[in-house]
Amino acid sequence: MGLKFTKMHGLGNDFMVIDAINQSLDLQTQRVRAWADRHFGIGFDQLLVVEATSTPNVDFRYRIFNADGSEVQQCGNGARCFAKFVYDKGLTDKTEITVETASGIIVLYVEENGWIRVNMGAPNFHPQSLPFTMPAEREHYALDVLGEEFEIGAVSMGNPHAVLRVADIGRAPVDKIGAAIESHRAFPERVNVGFAERLNANHIKLRVYERGAAETLACGTGACAAMVVYRNWGEVADEVTVSLPGGDLKIAWNGERDAPVWMSGPAVTVFEGELPEE
């Protein structure tokens, strides 16, 4: 038997999903990179692995790997696809699914309209949580990038995010500045970079340069990060539509530091496949 997998996407942010509960999986960095190749492999932004858990009152363990083979803590679009996968595959009949990730426990809800609502946990603005080398927490940070100064907000949504305010999302230098900030010395473990244009108090447009994956069509944690940074700045309401190149997400956060961020959006199965034995 070969290795069975499912190809999925959340707003064009695409994933290879593997059930590692009912089949064995030998994960190696070079193998993940080969699968991720869009010409010679399956092609994806990230690999999602479904595992059993020994943690009490938790349904599954969930691991995430970037296309370059590096393991990361959290992925919002991936979390929605994860919930749809385990529900559609009959791995659970629950519509409230508790999942262990590298950044902690998250809860996923399968809604009647087919969307998945995710409790993403509370945002963490402390620089050391990203990590970010700034000595103290601030609402705004000045960052020197390629000889130019940029004002950013920074937050961890289980993974690190820097958020830049831009006046025109279409002209934002996502590739050049995104790559420079992702690997900036101030972020020793690299960072995801969001370019956010505020349209009004209930609507943000966003492009994200993802750590280890470059620009993607959508980033769930990036959408959460953009919303909570703008909310922390006092510039948006408690519920915001975040429009990404791949589509819209609904993000809600009331501004309280210990309150969870809620993300709602679609998850789509593209096809099923099976890799030949090696």
Which residue of the set 42, 48, 75, 217 is catalytic? 75
Q: Decide if 224 is catalytic.
A: no
Residue 198: partners with Cβ closer than 8 Å, 6 or more residues away: 165, 204, 230, 235, 236
Contact between residue 75 and residue 38 where contact means Cβ atoms under 8 Å apart:
no
Which residue of the set 110, 116, 206, 219 is catalytic? 219
Residue 244: partners with Cβ closer than 8 Å, 6 or more residues away: 11, 205, 206, 207, 208, 217, 218, 219, 222, 223
Which active-site residues does the annotation give?
75, 219
